[in-house]
Each structure stands twice: as C-alpha cells, then as structure tokens.
Structure 1
Amino acid sequence: MRIFSFARVLLLLFLSCFVAIVSPTVILTQNVTNTVEDSITVFPGITIQITCNVTGSNSLSWNMTGSTESPAISEMFQTDTLGGFSLMFLSIDGSVISSTATAVTSSNTSITCRDGTPGSSISATIDIIIKPVDPQIYMIQNVTSDSSNITVCPNDPITFSCRSTTGILVWALDDGQSISMAYFTSLGEMVTLGDFELVVTNVTILSLEIESTATISSPVTNFTLSCHTNVTNGLNRLSSAIEVTVRSPPVPVSSVNVSEVCYDSISLNWTDTINSIDTPQLDHYLVSVTAQNTQTDLIVNGFNTSLTGLTSNEQYTLSVVSVNCAGNSTPMTVQRTIMAQKPSVPTLQGLDLLSDRSNTSIATISVRWELQIAYSLLSLVIVSWFLV
C-alpha cells in the first residue's frame, strides 16, 4: 500500500511539472519604460503602446476596465478596437504570438491580455495611471547659481542645468538648433548641440522627471540657451531661457591729465565716461610709466594716481589702459619731463637788528638771504622768525 502511494505521489509530481512546462504564459511590456511593469504613470495625451506576448497558445484576447468587449486576436495582421485602443496582431513565431494595443491616454484604466485557449484563465494586466497635468521647467547656470542672464569671460566653461516634469526636455539655441532628451535616455549618455555637451544626469520614471546638463567649454560670442517641455501630446509648452553675454575688451578712457609734476614724482588723473569699476565692462586700470625702454606697470582701482621714485630731468611716457578679462583697451598716452633738480634750502647771508630807542616795546629785525635756485622753480617762499 505504501509503495503504491509513493508511486502515485511521484506520478502526480511528474504530471504537475509537465503541466507547468506546457502551460501558456502571458507577458506585457510597454513603451514608457520598455520593461515589464504592473503599472505605469504617464501624462494625458502621451501615446502608449502595450505589447502582449503569449507563449504556448495560438490566440489571445484583450480586455480593459469598464468594457464588456474581449476581442480575440489570432490571425496575421488582424486589427480591432477596444475602447480607445487600437489592436493589431503582430506576428506568430513558433509557439509565441504577439499583439499590440495602442492608445492616446486620457484617463486611468487597466488593460488585460489573456491566453485565447478555451477555458484558460492565464492573463497579465497593466494599470495605466494618468499623472495630473502640472508640467514644470526649471533652468539654472553655475556662474551665479540662478536663472538670471549672465555675463562671462571668453573661454570660461559654463554648465546649465535643466529639470522637466514631463519626461522630456528640449535644449535649444537661438540659431535654431535643438535636441530632445527623454526619460528613457541612458544616464550619463552624452550628445552634442553645437558646441554644447548634453548629458542626462537624473531620471525619476514614475514621476516622469528628467534632469540634464548642457556644458560649453569655450564661449566666444553671445548666445541664448533655452530648455523647454515637449510641445507634443497635448501639453502646453513651458520654456526657460538664459541670455549669456561674453565680455569684449573695454573702450579706452576719454582723456588723461597730468595734475602735478615734481622733481621725483608725477600725479595724473583720467576721465572715463563709459566704463565703470566692478562692472562686467571693467576690472581695473593699468597705468604704465616708460623711460629709456624701461616700463613699470601699476594697477589702479580709481581715476587718479601718483607715480613716485622718478628721476630728475628725465622724460616719461605715461599711459592708462582699461582692463577686463577679455583684454585691454587701446592706451591713452601723455609725455612729461621731470623737474631738473630738487630746490635747495635758502641760506642766511646777514642779520641786522635796528632798535627804536623811543619805543622800547618794538624791535625791528632785518633778514637778508640768497637763493641757489631760479625763482621760476619755486612756488612759495616762507619766512619765519621768533622774538626772544
């Protein structure tokens, strides 16, 4: 009795394995993530295609939530409809048959593919969930880390970041070039747009968020870069753009004036009606002093300076240049000759004291001196005396 029971158990196990081997299977895939999912989330208006592969059967049927229809698909190139879905028999390859159900999504639904064998209950279902229509686009750059327009130096690399909540974003240049980046693009995959390198940096499939960067290593001319949501599938286009101004060399100062010349120094000032310190047009001024093929440069953050340590009786060429990261302006130049020598100190040559005997409270002192330098070289002579 035990032997018979044991054999019976082995037979049942064998038959169950055989049934498992030959039982039909149903697999559903979709074009949103190109994987097998129980549910997918999409925006309204996006075209979705469900593919059903049935193994071990020669027919299949489709069914969807809220519908009593169940169209059977069994012939090559057979088509049918189910609600808003278009059904098509794709192929039969040995023991595998394929069919697609395609629709433009508008509301939540579920669609099921079943083995068409009479009496079979084998099936697979996928839920289609419509994401609320709230497309967003956000774009920033790494120079000031915000979304405002910027001014940059030539050949300085810039990176722009864009985030879209529609599953697709489009980079576009003002010359008409554009390229799309989608949520199913491989992370880290690099494509180019003009001189830009575009990379998808983050994807959140269920919320259809995608982030991408656009990097240009050597900007030389002004441009506008924009990032926008896809304009297809019934969504309103949202766009974010940043204008980039690439600096050019500043204009020259208006005039240079020498305000004072001494035996070892020169003071000068200049007028600049266009440039302004600490703006994108100007970083600083460069004042150069040249004599006998020797040049000394001085960085100045204002509109005047004094140059000291010069040599008497020497002619100097003075120039003022406006400077920013794009280069220098043409110089504004003047020439001046330093005084021949330093004025000498006057020396006393005599002293006479005359007394008014009638008024003992008054004393008169006469002082006489001689100068060792021409009067033209003196701006002021000061005489001081003390009564003791």
Structure 2
Amino acid sequence: MTRIRSVEAIPVRLARDLDEATGTAGSPSVLKSGEADYRWSASVPAIYSRHFETALVKVTLDNGLTGWGEAQAPLAPQVACAIVDRLLAPLLVGVEFQPEPEHIEKTWHNLYGSMRVRGQTGGFMLDAISGVDLALWDLAGRMRQQPVSGIIAGSLAKTRVSAYLSGLPSGSFADRCRFALDYQAQGFGCFKVFHEAAEGELFQLLDELHDALGASAQLAVDALWRLEESNAAAFGRQLDRRNAVWLECPFMPEEAEAHVRLADEIQTPLAAGESFRTRNEIAPLLHALRFVQPDLGRTGITEGLRIAAMAASANAAVLPHVSIALGPQIAAAIHFAAALENAPLLEFNPSVCRMANLFLESPLRVEDAHWQVPAGPGLGIQVKEAELRAAIRW
C-alpha cells in the first residue's frame, strides 16, 4: 500500500525583464510607475507583479516517488502555499494513494469539501487544490508509467497540439508586426492581441497585422475585462468587420448576463474561463461562449475535465489558458489539450516558455506551431529543483 509521505508548497518569485514582458502574459499592459512589487495597470482594472511569480507543489510518496504540481499564482503565491501547508497537507499526509482518475477525483472532492461550508469554494482555496491535483496526476502517470494524456484518452491522445501566439511585446505597430511575421514564418496562423490601450489603437493594430500577415491570418482579441455594456456591441461589430476569431474576456467574470446579451448581438465568438475555478462558476455564462478557457492552475486537471465535458455538451471548444507558469502547469495544459477532442488550440507565450524551460531537465517544445506532448510518464517533465530554489528572490 502506497501512502503520501509529504506535501510541500514552494512560493516562487523570479526576476524578469518587465519591458520585454509588457504586452504579453502577466503584464498585458503598461504598469503605473512606482516602487511597489504589485502595481495597477495603466489601463486594465487589475494589478500585476513586476516579477514572475507562481506556486509549485511537490507531493512525495513513501516509496520515494515525487509528483509536481503548480497553482496559478501570478501575485502573492505565499497565499496558495499557506493553504497547501496549513489546510491541505495535513489532510493528505499518511493517506493511501492510488494512481487512478477515480481516486484523484475523490481526493479533489475531499479537499474541496474541507472548507466548503465556510464559503471557500473558489479563489485561493481552489488554486491551492489545483496545485495539489496536478501533482497527483503527475504521480499517477509515474506510477503507471503512462503520460497523463494517455491515462485520460488512451490511444486517442494526440502527440502534438496546435499553438496560437499569445500577445505581442510592446513597441511600435511596425515592431509588433515584425514580431508576428517572425512567428508566422515558423508556422503560426493564429495570433492574440490585448486591448490594453485606446480602441482606435487596437483597431489600427489589427488592420496593420492583417496587412502584414495576409488574409489567412487569424486574429483574436483579449479585451481584459474592459468593456462597458453600453458600447460593447459597437466594439464587437468592429471585430466582426475584421473577422476576429474570438473576443476574450469582454466583461468582468461575474457579469454573466452581459456576456449572454453580447453573444446575441455580434458575430464574433466569445471566449472566457480563466477566472473560473469550477463548473459551477462558469455555468451561468456557458451558453454565451463558443470557446471555454480553463486555466489548469486554477481548475486542476480533475475539475478541468468536468468543465471540458460541460463545454462539449454546449458545443463549445476548449482553449486552455496558459499565463504565468513554470513547467508543471504548462505540461499539464499540454496533456489536457492532447487528451480532448474539443481542444483545437493551446496558448503559447514565448517568454513564459523560455522561463519555464530554464528549470526543466528537458525543455518543453513548440515545433512548426505545435506543442509537442512530453512523452515521459506523468506530466513528462523533470524539475531542476536546486537551480529553481537558487533562483527564487524574495
């Protein structure tokens, strides 16, 4: 009988070039000036970190086998880590571990139920549970000598997943077009831009990208929750004229009815999901979405699969969200997408991938605009733990 020996959470902060990162994951817009680590965006109703922050979870069995997970924690990863250390680890240490999806699902429900009557059914609590969940799936694959995608989908699992380029680093329109052209030359056909400035600038950027990339290029827009319902339809019709492939996060996550009304008024499909941890949270606006974007660092694989099944029943595709993340979270998203029939694309941010690969024995690879599914057991990655710990700066 194999039991869980230890559960450890590691809050991570890594130095990064903020200028290079601006316009991409974790810093989609220019931040307001100041010395604080966390700053307001100059245009988006959210705060962001100057650094690269995340929360890793390491689960070790009494046979010495280790699994790695990761919570989506781009700010204050100590919060999710404290939940793992103080609340979740005591519930897991000494418990028998079975490498079966049904066992992991039961564990997810036990952890979810531990604070449910106190209203902790979302937010940081679920981020922490998700970090543990990814580690348990990694362990299951390692014990079974199977990749996670194979456990989920068997022989139907894909060996590669189409990637879309997420974000264009800040600079002139010409600079951004050159950046996109470089990736088009590598085989990329879909590009996402952030609505991080004035509307006119966004539409001009889309027009210049279309001119540079050609009519076959697919352009998506992440509105960063900025739209007001009074002008959202007019904004959406501008995207209709430009044949945008989707409009992401038009309104605040809790404004479900606004999403539903906008979906009825414009042709451009709506996409959302990164802010939601459970199928219960996303259910009110599901029928407004053509693309559902669960973040595995917030849903875990277990709840992510249930969200994907719900999306399939609504004829929606799944585009897993990948933002600030290291190897465990990115690898989990790759395996997740590889296992799903209704997951045609996976997000790719070059600077995030480069950071993740600094701390992996073998890099995660994107070739010919496709994520290559790691072939090893579990998530198929080996974390360079000593190098990572040495690089953390608090």
TM-score interval, smaller chain: under 0.3
Higher relative contact order (CA closer than 8 Å, sequence separation 6+): 2
More helix by share: 2
TM-score normalised to the size of structure 2? 0.16
More strand by share: 1
Larger radius of gyration: 1
